[in-house]
Amino acid sequence: MSEITSLTLYELIKNIKEKKISSNEAAKSFVDRADKSKKINAYVTENFENCLKLSKEFDDKPNFDLKLPGIPIAVKDLFCTYEVRTTAGSNILNNFVPTYESTVTQNIWNEGGILLGKLNCDEFAMGSSNETSFFGNVQNPIAKDLVPGGSSGGSSAALAANLTPVTIGTDTGGSIRQPASFTGTVGLKPTYGSCSRYGIVAFASSLDQAGPMSKDVKDSSILLEVISSFDKKDSTSIDFKRNNYSSELTRNIKGLKIGIPKEYRVDGMPDEIEKLWKKGIEYAKDCGAEIIDISLPHTSYALPTYYIVAPAEASSNLARYDGVKYGLRSSGKNLIDMYEKTRSEGFGEEVKRRVMIGTYVLSSGYYDAYYLKAQKVRQLIKRDFDQAYNKVDAILTPSTPSSAFKIGEKSNDPVSMYLNDIFTVPVNLAGLPGISIPAGVDKNNYPLGLQIIGKPFDEQTVLNIAYSMEEKINYKNNITDWWMK
Amino acid sequence: MDEIMSKNNSEYLIERNDNVYEVVIGLEVHAQVTSNSKLFSSSSTKFGAEPNTQVSLVDAAFPGMLPVINEFCVKQAIKTGIGLRAKINNKSVFDRKNYFYADLPQGYQISQYKYPIVGEGNVILDMPEGQKQVGIERLHLEQDAGKSIHDIDPSNTLVDLNRSGVALMEIVSKPDLRSPDEVNAYIKKLRSIMRYLGTCDGNMQEGSLRADVNVSVRIKGSTDLGTRCEIKNVNSIKFMQMAIIYEANRQVDLIEEGQEIDQETRLFDTKKNETRSMRSKEDAHDYRYFPDPDLLPLEITDEFIDKLKSEIPELPDDKKKRFIDEFKVSSYDATILVSDIDTAKYFEEVVAKMGKNRDMKLAVNWITGELFAVLNEKNIEIAQSPISAKNLAKLINLIKNGTISGKIAKTIFELMLDGDIDPQIIVEEKGLKQESDPKALEALIDKIINDNREKAIEYKQGKEKLFGFFVGQAMKASGGKANPQLINEILKKKL
């Protein structure tokens, strides 16, 4: 079996259960391919030797009742992993090795998953192109010198390049869905409170949410089932009845009402995005869904709101990286000097920019005008969705306003970079589930994604619509393995 | 320095030239919540452990670690609020107070800013001139920081995070206090209430109770508040009083010199007995408070509050009232007896053990007199009293039923100290029983009169003060055991 790495998770599990492939064979295939794919720069830290060892142990004593029996999986380097370096893409955590495991990754290992390694990401998940990582750019497997999206850029690239069967990312403003869209893969951000934040390096606590990234919708449903759990260690984790997402997955979405929000038709949106969206509407109709025009009137305020709330929380969340307890410490004349040098050298430009914005909007005299107002607008955005969901079961939008761009193209223009998140941030602000599925290509043959947004805790409907549309769209990535040549 | 006017009460006024100033004081008391584990983690809070041995990943703010509220600490804060007759808020919010310091691992302290768990309440002080009510502005929960140690290593500051994350209640008073004496009474009352409730042990040496003291002065009679200075982190009542006296006089001096008082944060230097500027208002930190997104608002139902109310023990004010009504002790004595929960417990146990024929006055006098003297001398708490309530009650009963005199009782009391010995046994072993047999006493007195014929004659001739001489001789002859009342009667008859 030469093509182990191109199997979907579902297929790989099936083959392992049927003993056609051993866990160790699978691990070897992914390790071999990773060795030939260094140019992608997907990995920050490899766990290959340990993965091979653990896969062998699995084969010696297999347990096929597990949901991820001996499956090697690489994860975004924002999840703390026991005794495996966790950097969050930052110099300040360059040497940080946790003595603990995040709940989400623990859930994966509990179901038989084996850690392949830690995947590159934007520093502290702040970015839309993976260019803010201390560990360098990641290549989009779609084409040379194309960004893989961000912040889960290492994850999307690894997935598209067949370096891992599935992966997990985190999504604060689009960091799962946008890279999925840029790489022709599937990315799901669950409802806020579905997946525990315990052990995930925090960016913006009220927005951060972990989720599955996969080659197809079914794989996302399998992984979501594993990682979504109530966790007492996270006070914002919600104790709701979780579905058996994979076994309840159905293509029957007849009669479901899907809303099309007019406010997502933004100025200057490329024609091909508009076309993609129209095509998506037709696919949804073909699947038996009813299309309803809706309004989300506060959409245009989402991006500015997000860029107040997220940096505010980040400025406080990142205060712990001070050189005192762990991570990088630069020497200084005194405590303040040490702080300044450590944080100047430890953080990159984008992180510094957001820490400064966040500090500013929380400052006395500005708090009411920025942070408080943003919180109020956030409630209005949430209310828009609540009202829309009186009429529809889900909402269909484009995932991003453009396809993947060239490395360096936007790195000196933060505002244009932030605009990438225009369709994804409202979903985070409202705490809703959203998925991006590949739906077509642009004039350069770069993938484009469609986003399906659901009601809170209704991941099943989101997955079902995506599953149904996926069949009609029948998208296939055309990846040439150019980086190996 | 001008004279401080002092009356026979707790009033504190400062006179300069023709002006009389009063001092206005508000306290922010930081009381450590009695709890086995910290406010947002399961680490131990035990005092005196080796540095950095009671630190969880949450306390040290490792990446991805999240706070989880300790329900017990919430209950403790609510109970304290009930004890302060305060409004318990159904919804309160934890905020982040952002600032950098080496012993603050998160880079922020989780506190409550706009929406505290407890709102307005009050505390009654028993002052010599009568009762005084002091308003409580609020009580909120917050985390303690770690400890920076500057004096172990010559070139480095060491950090101990054992205290990091320990639950504190910040109890903010209204600016209702007017003198160092009132501050003393307030802190003691607060401490007493919390010890009754078991919500804070009030141990100031271990830092379980500390206060920031806000001081301003104004011409007596004025209703405007002067510019205040905040004296940070004072950890004993004596130092609070010294700091207030210094600070009030400093402010009066400035006003009298026609200068402005800067609103600032000051430190009290206990060695020099003076306050010093720490930072001015301009340099004040901008803490950038905002609701902690890792924690949901704290929602407390009325049922939850009612259940806690039903668990509240009798508090000092009610106990005092009951002691006066039930035991007929004076208001003054009752105040002393209830001020400390262990004293009140001890007193009630003595009362119970004395039985039907109890003598309250004797009980109060022996506890607040002899026993307190011993405790003071040995520097121990009543809970460690060398004499149990049971045996003290026995001793009191022996006096009450005439078995021993008050004087002998003092001797027995001394003997009881050595291992809480039953006074009855001492009386028997040492033969200290009072001699109350009139015949035996008559014989004894006959002999004395016989031996001192001349003095007896002198007495009969009118030298009445010799009566005392005969009493003394009789007591001496009986080894102090003679019943003094009988001696008097017999002597009067025989002489």
Query: pLDDT tens-digit profile of B311-357?
Result: 999 999 999 999 999 999 999 999 999 999 999 999 999 999 999 88
Rounded to the nearest angstrom, the minimum Cα separation between A234 and chain B is 6
Contact (Cβ atoms closer than 8 angstroms) between residue A479 and residue A161:
yes
* Binding-site residues on chain A for chain B (CB distance < 8 A): 79-80, 86, 88, 93, 96, 98-100, 102, 197-202, 204-206, 232-236, 312-313, 315-316, 318-320, 322, 324-326, 335, 339, 359, 362-364, 367, 371
The mean per-residue pLDDT over the stretch A450-472 comes to 98
Render pLDDT for A69-93 as a digit per residue (tens, 0 to 9). Answer: 999 999 999 999 999 999 999 999 9
Residue A119 belongs to a domain: yes
> Taking chain A, what is the end-to-end CA distance rounded to the nearest angstrom?
22
Closest CA to A479 of A187, A215, A143: A143
Regarding whether B242 and B210 lie in a shared domain, the answer is yes
Inter-chain touch B294–A235, beta carbons under 8 Å: yes
Residues A298, A384 contacting (CB under 8 angstroms): yes
B357 alpha carbon, distance to own chain's centre:
32
pLDDT at B6: 44
Backbone angles phi, psi at B281, to 5 degrees: -60, -35
Would an 8 Å CB–CB cutoff place B107 in contact with chain A? yes
Q: Is the CB of residue B102 less than 8 Å away from at least one CB of chain A?
A: yes
Calculate what percentage of chain A has a pLDDT beyond 90. 96
Q: Would you call B100 and A235 a contact, using CB atoms and an 8 Å cutoff?
A: no
What is the model's pTM? Answer: 0.91
**Can you read off the two tokens belonging to residue B345?**
């417990």
H-helix or E-strand spanning residue A282: helix A271-286
The pLDDT value recorded for residue B446 is 84
3-state secondary structure of B394: helix
Residues in chain A with CB shorter than 8 Å from the CB of B58 are none
Among A192, A382, A389, A201, residue whose Cα is nearest residue A305: A382
Last-in-domain residue among B282, B308, B334: B308
The verdict on B67 touching A (C-beta cutoff 8 Å) is: yes
Question: For chain A, what is the domain count?
Answer: 1
Mean of the per-residue pLDDT values of chain B: 92
Judgement on whether residues B196 and B343 belong to the same structural domain of the protein: no
User: Are B295 and B376 contained in the same domain?
Assistant: no
Instruction: Identify the domain boundary among B374, B396, B430.
Output: B430
**B63/A202 CB distance under 8 A:** yes
Same domain, B388 and B362: yes
The Cα–Cα gap between B256 and A172 comes to 60
Q: Does residue B354 share a domain with residue B220?
A: no
Of A404, A408, A397, nearest to A437 (Cα)? Answer: A397
Q: What is the CATH number of the domain that holds A161?
A: 3.90.1300.10
Residue A55 belongs to domain spanning: 4-254
Q: Where are the alpha helices (DSSP H) in B295-388?
A: 302-310, 316-327, 331-338, 341-354, 360-365, 372-378
- B325 and B368 in one domain? yes
- Range(s) of the domain holding residue B489: 438-494
Q: Does residue B2 have a pLDDT over 60? A: no
Q: pLDDT tens, A289-325?
A: 999 999 999 999 999 999 999 999 999 999 999 999 9
Q: Identify the pLDDT of residue B4.
A: 45
Return the percent helix, strand and coil in chain A, to nearest 5. 40, 15, 45
Q: Is residue B273 located within the same domain as residue B372? A: no
The total of structural domains in chain B comes to: 3
Task: Collect all residues of chain A within an 8 Å Cβ-Cβ radius of residue B294.
Answer: 202, 205, 235-236
Same domain, B417 and B477: no
* The pLDDT value given to residue B489: 83
**Percent of chain B whose pLDDT exceeds 70:** 98
* Residue among A88, A316, A325 whose CB faces B96 most closely: A316
Exposure letters B309-337 (e unless 16+ CB within 10 A, then b): eeeeeebbbebbeebbeebebeeebbebb
B417 with B448, same domain: the answer is no
In a domain? residue A175? yes
| DSSP 8-state class, residue B50 | P
Residue where one domain finishes, among candidates B382, B400, B430: B430
According to DSSP H, which parts of B179-277 are helical?
180-197, 237-256
Same domain, B113 and B19: yes
Looking at residue B330, its pLDDT comes to 94
Q: So what's the pLDDT on residue A295?
A: 97
